[in-house]
């Protein structure tokens, strides 16, 4: 049985159907000059076509940096990017520290480096990912990568949140690191996990965290490796350790993608409906047990639901839905980053003087960027 809170899933299905992107991916590296180190990664991103090196869509998407488990790699988490990229997220899955002797501190700093710099890279007009990202980032990780994610939150707080799955204690200690990192935190664990037992790993991490807003989420009947795809090293360790699952891998994936999708839509896209569903799920879902020190009411100083621009494509005038009240300005940029239109508090916008092309439309309130989207001007 793969259902989890019927109402939530039906609403999620509507969101996905309403706006679904194809998935492009690129095997690439990012150079950290301060450490003279290439940080390698697979980047999965929204595109108009599927496949390797497909042209990424411009216009700005939030990005998620992901750290893999011990002796695992980006391909062991396909279900995450397959669920999140069509919803409008960029996933940067690191491929460093994949061997038998990983350096946890180095891995944590790799995660922090990408969290700090991917948006900056995307502002470079010659970069493959030019104009694809907005400066909103969440760092996630599984097992060793989960522990390294908590280390990353102590190296930089240029992230909206951290989300970890069966996070393992690391060297240096993730448990100690989170005591000095005040970033919003979701700590997932599997009830039957004997690889990284919750009492020795995730629960101490949660208790030690100094975050003003955090949640500890136990997947009932879940286990360590079900946070990933089937992978020989992880599955072997699970068998030897004696983990006990009472749900399927697919069921655990459904729970993770449902909750994480709701949280990200709320946190990174200011979707109030998703925020409410996430809160309801924490308190009402029969598939999890959750503990939290906050009500997730102030996530990112919530603005209204996603601003809608219609019609799109258009050839003469566009209108707006869900524009906030206040000092609002709307700007239109061409694909080389030149601002062509800047207008305050519009009810609609005349575009008949723009040449047929793809443009980037940005909405600001009190000089803060709150929405970025593509605008297609037709002939």
Encode pLDDT of 155-205 as tens digits.
Answer: 998 999 999 999 999 999 999 999 988 999 999 999 999 999 999 999 999
Which architecture does CATH list for 308-377? Sandwich (2.60)
308-377 and 6-292 share a CATH fold: no
| Stated pTM of the model | 0.78
Whether residue 366 is predicted with pLDDT greater than 80 in this model: the reply is: no
> Which pair of tokens denotes residue 347?
């009810």
Q: Given its phi and psi angles, is residue 259 left (phi above 0), alpha (psi -120 to 50 degrees) or beta?
A: alpha
What sign has the CA pseudo-torsion 338, 342, 347, 349?
A: negative
DSSP state of 363: E
Residue 368 has a pLDDT of 76
The alpha carbons of the chain give a radius of gyration, in whole angstroms, of: 21
Whether residue 145 is predicted with pLDDT greater than 90 in this model: the reply is: yes
Hey, where are the domains in the chain?
6-292, 308-377
Residue 325 has a pLDDT of 65
Pairing of strands 348-350, 328-333: unpaired
Options 3.40.630.30, 3.40.50.720, 3.40.50.1820, 3.40.50.1220; which CATH number does 6-292 get?
3.40.50.1820
């Amino acid at each position: 049985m793969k259902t989890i809170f019927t109402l939530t899933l039906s609403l999620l299905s509507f969101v996905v159907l309403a706006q679904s992107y194809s998935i492009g991916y690129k095997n690439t590296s990012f150079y950290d000059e301060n450490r003279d180190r290439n940080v390698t990664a697979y980047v999965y991103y929204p595109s108009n076509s599927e496949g390797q090196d497909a042209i990424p869509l411009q216009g700005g998407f939030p990005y998620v940096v992901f750290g893999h488990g011990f002796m695992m790699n980006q391909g062991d988490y396909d279900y995450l990017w397959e669920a999140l990229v069509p919803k409008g997220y960029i996933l940067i899955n690191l491929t460093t520290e994949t061997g038998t002797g990983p350096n946890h501190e180095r891995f944590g700093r790799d995660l922090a480096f990408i969290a700090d710099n991917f948006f900056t890279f995307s502002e470079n007009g010659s970069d493959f990912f030019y104009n694809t990202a907005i400066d909103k980032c969440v760092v996630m990780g599984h097992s060793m990568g989960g522990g390294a994610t908590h280390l990353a939150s102590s190296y930089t707080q240029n992230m909206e949140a951290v989300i970890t799955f069966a996070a393992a204690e690391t060297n240096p200690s993730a448990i100690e690191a989170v005591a000095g990192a005040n970033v919003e935190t979701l700590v997932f664990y599997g009830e039957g996990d004997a690889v990284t037992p919750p009492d020795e790993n995730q629960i101490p991490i949660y208790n030690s965290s100094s975050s003003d807003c955090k949640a500890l989420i136990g997947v009932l009947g879940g286990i360590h490796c079900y946070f990933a795809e089937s992978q020989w090293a992880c599955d072997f360790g699970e068998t030897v350790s004696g983990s006990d699952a009472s749900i399927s891998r697919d069921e655990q994936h459904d729970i993770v993608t449902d909750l994480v999708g709701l949280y990200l839509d709320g946190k990174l896209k200011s979707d109030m409906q998703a925020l409410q569903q996430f809160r309801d799920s924490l308190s009402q879902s029969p598939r999890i047990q959750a503990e939290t020190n906050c009500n997730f009411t102030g996530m990112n100083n919530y603005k209204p639901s996603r601003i809608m621009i219609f019609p799109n494509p258009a050839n003469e005038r566009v209108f707006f839905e869900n524009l906030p009240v206040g000092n609002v300005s709307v700007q239109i940029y061409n694909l080389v980053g030149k601002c062509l239109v800047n207008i305050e508090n519009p009810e609609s916008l005349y575009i008949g003087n723009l040449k047929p092309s793809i443009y980037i439309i940005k909405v600001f309130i009190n000089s803060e960027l709150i929405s970025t989207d593509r605008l297609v001007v037709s002939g």
